[in-house]
Amino acid sequence: MTERGILAFSGGLDTSVVVKYLQEEYDMDVITVTVEVGQGDDQKKIEAKAKKLGVKKHYNIDARKEFVENYIFPSIKANALYQKKYCLATALARPLIAEKVLEIARKEKVTALAHGCSGKGNDQVRFDITLRSGSDLPIIAPIRDKNLDRVTELEFAKKHGIEIDSIAKRFSIDQNLWGRAIEGGVLEDPYSEPPDDAFIWVKTKNLSDKPTYLEIRFEKGIPVAVDGKILDSIKLIEHVNKKAGDVGIGIVDHIEDRVVGIKSREVYETPGAICLIEAHADLEKMVHTKHENKFKSIIDDEWAYLAYSGLWQDPLKRDLDAFIEVSQKPVSGTVKLKLFKGSLRVVGRKSEYSLYSHKIATYGTESTFDQRLAKGFVELWGIQSTEANKLQKKRSSKT
C-alpha cells in the first residue's frame, strides 16, 4: 500500500521543499492543506503550485473567523505579549492549522503527518504537540530530520523548478491577520537596522502631519466597534491594522527567547495587535480593582508564555482561560487612541463599569474623600517597613 502523507502547505520555500522530499525520499503520495488565517495569499496560486508539485489532493480551508474569534480574541483578553513585545501572531495560528490538518488526516486516512518546520524554531513545538494531542501517526519533518539549511533548500528548490518569490529569498516571512513576522537574512545581525522595504504593513516614510484617532468599543473584553461602527470580527482586525499601519504604528524589533533555547532577533509588523492590546489593557485598569489588575498581569504573562511555547492544549492554559473569561465581565467600554507619526497613546477611556470616581479623585471642592482618614492608613500601611528600618539602623550602629 502506498504511504500517504498530509502536509500543512503555505506555498513557501519550506513546505514546497517538503512536498518533494515526501514524494522522493519517503515515496509518499502527498495531500496538502492550506489553512487560511489571513496570509493574504492567492489561494488559486497556492493550489496551482501544489498541483504542479504533483500532490494527489489539495484542500483549502478558510479558518479566518475561527482564528479571530477563538484565538485572537482570547489573546486580547489576556493582553498577550510574549516577553512584553510579541503579540503571538504565528504562535496562535499554529494550533489551529494543525487541528485542521488533523481533521483532513482522519478523513483521508493518511499514514503520516508532515510539516515544514525546522528544528530551530518554535513552530515545530506547536505543530508536534497539537498533532500528538490528536493522533498517534508518525510525524515527518524533513527540514528538521535532514538538518537542512536555507541555502540548501533554495538550491533544492531551484533544481526542482520550484518558484520562490524575491522577498522569500531575502527573509523568512510568516503572515496572518494578527501580524507579520520577518526573520533571517540581514536581520540575523541584531545590530543592523531592518531595511524599510522589509515592511509592507507599516508605512515608514512620508507620514501624515495630522493625528489619527481610533475609538475602540469593547464588550466583555472583545473589540466590537471602531469609531462608533460595529464591525464583523475579521473586518475589525483588518481595519485597525490598516489604519494604524498607515500612520507608522506597529513595528516591533526585539530579542526573543525561543522554546529550544536559541536567542533570536525578531522583527514584526503588528499594528492592529499593538492598538487593540494597548486599548484593552487600559480599559481593564479602569474597571478592575487594583488587586485584580496586579494578579491578572501574572495570569496574562503565563498565558502568553504557554501560547508561545506550544502548550495551547495544556490543562493549565484552559484553567487560565476560565479565570480570564470571568474577569472580562466588566471589560466593556470605549478607549480613544491617538496615533501620530508612528507613536501611539491612549488619550481617553470610558466605561459603564468604571471604578474611577470623579468625586473621590478630584482635587476640587466637590471632593467627598476625607483626607484625614489617610493619616492613620498610611501609618499602618508602612509600619513594618519603618520598624524594620529603625531596627536595622540601630543594630548596624552597634557593630
Q: Going residue by residue from 131 to 170, which x/- string records binding to ligand ARG, judged by CB under 6 A?
A: ----------------------------------------
Residues of this chain, 94-133, that bind ligand ARG according to CB under 6 A: 122
Smallest distance, Å, CB 172 to ligand ARG? 4
Q: Per rule CB under 6 A, is residue 181 in the interface with ligand ARG? A: yes
**Binding residue (CB under 6 A) for ligand ARG from 173, 202, 283, 344:** 173
Smallest distance, Å, CB 122 to ligand ARG? 4
14: annotated active-site residue: yes
Residues 6+ apart with CB under 8 A from 114: 5, 6, 7, 18, 22, 30, 139, 140, 141, 142
The smaller minimum CB distance to ligand ARG, of residues 29 and 266, is found at 266
Q: Which of 235, 254, 244, 304 is nearest to 275 (CA)?
A: 244
Q: Per rule CB under 6 A, is residue 269 in the interface with ligand ARG? A: no
Helix (H), strand (E) at residue 321 = helix 315-327
- Residue with cell string 479602569: 286
d(CA 331, CA 354): 9
User: Is 244 exposed, middle or buried, given 0-12, 13-18 or 19+ CB atoms closer than 10 A?
Assistant: buried
Q: Per rule CB under 6 A, is residue 91 in the interface with ligand ARG? A: yes
The smaller minimum CB distance to ligand ARG, of residues 261 and 364, is found at 261
d(CA 90, CA 86): 10
Smallest distance, Å, CB 88 to ligand ARG? 7
Q: How many CB atoms neighbour CB 150 within 10 A?
A: 16
Stretch that binds ligand ARG, among 26-34, 38-46, 173-181, 323-331 (CB under 6 A): 173-181
Residues 6+ apart with CB under 8 A from 172: 13, 150, 182, 183, 184
Strand-pairing partners, residue 337, are: 214, 346
Q: Per rule CB under 6 A, is residue 16 in the interface with ligand ARG? A: no
Can you give the binding site for ligand ARG, defined by CB under 6 A? 90-91, 122, 172-174, 181, 183, 256, 266
Catalytic residues: 14, 94, 123, 172
